[in-house]
Amino acid sequence: MKNLALLLIAILVGAVASEAAVRLAGFRPRTVEVNRFFVPGETSWSMPDPELGWINKPGVSRAIGDDVRMTFWDHGRRATRDDPAPPAGIPIMIIGGSNAQSYGVADRDTFAYRLGQRDPRLSIENFGNGGYGTVQALMLAERALKDFYKDTKPKVIVLAFDDAHILRNVSDQSWVFTISDFAGRYAAPPHYRLENGALTFHPYRSIGFWPLETHSAALTLLHNVWLQSLAYNTKDQALAVTREVIARLAALAKANGAVFGVAVLEDRGGVTPALFRDAPFPHVDCSGPGRADPKGTYMAANGHPNPALHAYFTQCIGEWLDKDVLPKLDPAP
């Protein structure tokens, strides 16, 4: 008993000393911070979803950093016209992340809304959701094809792609550490990994705190090391996984009689030319102005494309649709 007591005292003293050393080095215990886009109120455009993690919430939300109102309809759609009922025309589904969602831009200034104004033949539905990667976009497309497009399937499915999605598709630690769920815990969105040479799906999960982590800087540091170095150190798989997920999207479109294409909206790392160079589907790179003049094309308040860049997206995507995508559709009987 005496030896056991001495051992426990030694462990306690060691723990206290370690905690003091970690705090002197500048580390602090975990703080509970809800993702600023998920905080309840008029700036929260999202609501929890058990499969996707989150999805656009029907109604009107205000963008953080300014007074812009954003309208969302059912099924996670961003408003692309005045009436949520689909009009007659060529059905086009747009999927992607926050740049597709057009965060921080008024409804009429979004590229998806402008595309419909540019060509009244098009019936455009924008399923872009903030924070999504390609995996979540694929999952939402599957859901929309089943629940929204019950009678009339889309003729065209456009993936609005950003190079940031590559790491999101494997839920790399660099992405996990930038988001949190509706309770302030780290979150791992649904993603794929390569395991024993096969693509393996990992569903959405919240990453709970370790016991006493919110009180101990040492435990917080250990948990961070675990997440960064082991549990979510997946960047080496990101490109291979992204290629496969996009191939699955192309197959999904084909199975539903739609033409699939990719429009690159953001490529700050310049990686997408290699990603899509030999792609068997039409694709277009609209990221040039954003890369050449970020101050003039992105909003300082929230870091997303401004109306001027959305106007360029409209021109770039519209011309691409006219030249490379719409001609692939079967002619009407």
Distance CA 97, CA 136 (A): 9
Residue boundaries of the structural domains of the chain: 1-333
- Crossing angle, helix 307-320 and helix 111-118, to 10 degrees? 50
Distance CA 49, CA 150 (A): 21
Distance CA 6, CA 169 (A): 49
pLDDT of residue 39: 82
pLDDT of residue 333: 45
- Select from 252, 246, 241, 251 the least CA-distant residue to 141: 252
Blockwise average pLDDT, block size 10, the chain, 333 residues: 61 61 79 84 90 96 89 98 94 98 97 97 97 98 97 96 98 93 92 94 94 89 90 96 97 97 96 94 96 94 94 98 94 57
| β partners of residue 207 | 186
| Phi, psi at 31, each rounded to 5° | -105, 145
| Calculated CA dihedral for residues 75, 81, 84, 85, nearest 10 degrees | -120
pLDDT of residue 9: 58
Residue pair 288/180 in contact by the 8 Å Cβ criterion: no
pLDDT of residue 4: 61
| β partners of residue 262 | 159, 283
Place of tokens 């997206």: 313
Topology at the third CATH level for domain 1-333 = Rossmann fold (3.40.50)
Residue pair 120/111 in contact by the 8 Å Cβ criterion: no
Place of tokens 């703080």: 31
Q: Given the DSSP bridges, would you call strands 59-62 and 191-195 parallel, antiparallel or unpaired?
A: unpaired
Determine whether 228 is exposed, middle or buried from the number of CB atoms within 10 Å of its CB (0-12, 13-18, 19+): middle
Distance CA 309, CA 147 (A): 32
Mapping DSSP to helix (H, G, I), strand (E, B) and coil, where does residue 216 land?
Answer: coil
Distance CA 179, CA 186 (A): 6
- Select from 226, 274, 258, 228 the least CA-distant residue to 95: 258
How many angstroms separate the Cα of 310 from the Cα of each of 25, 46, 287, 304?
45, 22, 11, 10
- Collect all residues with Cβ–Cβ distance below 8 Å to 96 and sequence separation of at least 6: 128, 132, 137, 159, 160, 161, 162, 165, 265
Q: Which two structure tokens, joined as six digits, stand for 309?
A: 């860049």
